[in-house]
Amino acid sequence: MLDKLMPVVLFLCAAVSIVTTIGIVYTLFSETFQFFKQVPLFDFLFGMKWSPLIEPKSFGIWPLLSGTLLVTVIACVFAFPVGIASAIYLSEYAPNRVRKIVKPILEVLAGVPTIVYGYFALTFVTPIIRAVFPSTGVFNALSAGIVVGIMIIPMITSLSEDAMAAVPRSLRHGAYALGATRFEVALKIVVPAAFSGIVSSGVLAFSRAIGETMIVTVAAGSTPQLTMNPLESIQTMTAYIVQVSLGDTPHGSIEYGTIFAVGLTLFLFTFLLNILASYVAKRFREEY
């Protein structure tokens, strides 16, 4: 009896994620479809001004999109070198005792609530930036981007270190036998061999940074504007969703529909990035 029942139970458990995904996609598309009955798709995709809550209303997504990408790029520029360098150290240089201490600390850092990171950005990082650049606003993209980068460092480090640790020791020993230094082995043997895992970790971290909410809500501001100046206040897609979801927007209104239109745009971005990560992992995977 148990042998017949357990496959059904396990299948239902596995189906939860599938049903949840289908439900999310259905909700996003159905609500967004109602929104685009009132707002032309062309205006949404190519408009350069976003002001759906005040007159005259504009629904161009580019200010939110540029703000999201600006914070994400700053985060990745900061996090990628630090994360990969940390992974190389843990994989190739750190003694086992140090590795057993540092890696759990990194994983604890990944578990810090993002609202804490947000107030850290606002009360610690922003004053430092304003001391260097006095014209910087209290809310700015640079502070938010740096702290989002700090948040995704553990993800890059942990996944990259796992990929490097999977490289066979025989490759390292062969390089040492040919006279290579430890740094040359790390840079020219281990990193290329673990390239698919490193790139996948980077793409997943990029996707995580795009979807970050509380840090950008607290530290980046709520000024949707099309700018590439990191010292100015901006608004990201996730921060806008938080702003409109506070309860002041009537259900079923066009302003309410913007939540789902922006959410669908964000969903498509992260979905495409996950497909890219999967493709890169398969394309450059090394099997030993």
DSSP 13-72: HHHHHHHHHHHHHHHHHHHHHHHHTTS-HHHHHH-S-EETTSSSPEE-SHHHHHHHHHHH
pTM: 0.87
pLDDT 10s digits, 202-239: 888 888 888 888 899 888 888 888 888 888 889 899 88
pLDDT tier for residue 128 given thresholds of 50, 70 and 90 = very high
Domains and CATH numbers, the chain: 56-283 (1.10.3720.10)
- Model pLDDT for residues 27-65, shown as the tens digit of each residue: 888 888 888 888 888 888 888 888 887 778 888 889 999
For residues 165 and 14, what is the distance between their CA atoms, to the nearest angstrom? 30
Instruction: Measure the CA–CA gap between 210 and 221, rounded to whole angstroms.
Output: 16
Give pLDDT tens digits for 114-126.
889 999 998 999 9
**Helices and strands in the chain: count of H runs, count of E runs:** 14, 2
Tell me the pLDDT tens digit for each residue of 167-204. Answer: 888 888 888 888 888 888 888 888 888 888 888 888 88
